[in-house]
Structure 1
Amino acid sequence: MGKNTHVGIERGNPHWPNEKRELLQENIYTISNDAIDFDNLPNVPRIYYKTDPAHSMLIDNWWKSVFPDPPLFRMKVDNMEIAKRMTQNGLGYSIVSGKLKNTEGVPLIWTTWLLFLKESLKLTSVKAFVEFITHHYSQRNLTK
Structure 2
Amino acid sequence: MKRLLALACTAALLGGPGMAHEFGFAGILSKSNKEDLPELTLSVGKPIAAEPLKLKSGMAYEIEIVADGTGELALEGAGFFRAIWVNEVVVNGLEIRPYGIDSLEFDEAGTMEIEFVAIKPGRYELKQPGSTGESQRVEIIIE
Q: Which has the higher helix share?
A: 1
Structures share fold, TM-score greater than 0.5 = no
The TM-score normalised by the length of structure 2 is: 0.29
Q: Which has the higher strand share?
A: 2
